[in-house]
Amino acid sequence: MSTHAQGGATNARGEVLSESAILSVAQGAIITSVAGACLTASYALLRGRGTRVARMYAIDSSVNCAIAGATFFSLKNYWVEPVLAKFQESSPSQLTSAEFGGDEPASWWALRSRGLPEVALSGALTGGLFGWRRYTLARGTLPGALVGAAFCSLAQISLNEVGVQRLKYISRERNRASGPPSEPALAPSKPKRPLLMRFMNWLGVKQVTPEEYLEKLRAERDLVWEEILLLEEEERNKEREEKGELLPAEESRVV
């Protein structure tokens, strides 16, 4: 009975992960398609090509970027992340910034490198695949993989840096407040249903229930809350170290 129950729980968890992966692939493909269309259309208009040419560029770029985005997120969600998850389970030791000879706290290193291996490997596979299809196996695979890995890594690092600066800003604002820290407000329990969710429901993908969505928000809130507390503790330790370094200089002046 216990084996059967565990198997049922595993199947249910796999279905939830599959639905989340499908939604992530669809969102990534749509966002990539829209971004590519806007960029190419803007470029054509700035070059004075006219609205007709800009529209043609936008349609062509939208299709190509949608294919590239769907390929990237499919590889990332269905192959790269599961493989790296199994690898991390088999080797539990984690690298910190100190092991790389850096003076930066481990939490900052973890924040700035979050999701970087998955994105870099997925970008390399996507770039190599498109390079092989466009040229040949020898000419296009390696250059495409290098360009894809570099571009995706740079985008992920930039996104992580934005998150780090956001946490720093929140920490500074909380330090300025005189009152005790209060828990961040929860998002509305019933989120709006965007057009993408209705489209996914039409395809037969099950929508996440409000309870599951609220549980996910709580988990994200707890994670951000822990990161804020860690950052505040690091700021306080840094201030103590700076004050400790200034004290001997002040004593020598008095003598």
Between 66-80, 141-155, 238-252, the lowest mean confidence (pLDDT) is in 238-252
Does 22 fall in a domain?
Answer: yes
Please state the pTM of the whole predicted model.
Answer: 0.52
Does 254 fall in a domain?
Answer: no
pLDDT at 101 over 50: no
| Residues 7-30 pLDDT 10s | 444 444 454 456 777 888 888 889
Mean pLDDT across the chain: 74
Please report, rounded to a whole number, the percentage of residues in the chain having pLDDT higher than 90. Answer: 2
Range of the domain at 120: 100-182
Does 142 fall in a domain?
Answer: yes
SS3 content of the chain, % helix, strand, coil (to 5): 80, 0, 20
Does 210 fall in a domain?
Answer: yes
CA distance linking residue 122 with residue 221, whole number of Å? 28
Does 255 fall in a domain?
Answer: no
Confidence of residue 196 (pLDDT cuts 50, 70, 90): low
| Residues 220-242 pLDDT 10s | 888 888 888 888 888 888 888 87
Q: How many domains does the chain have?
A: 3
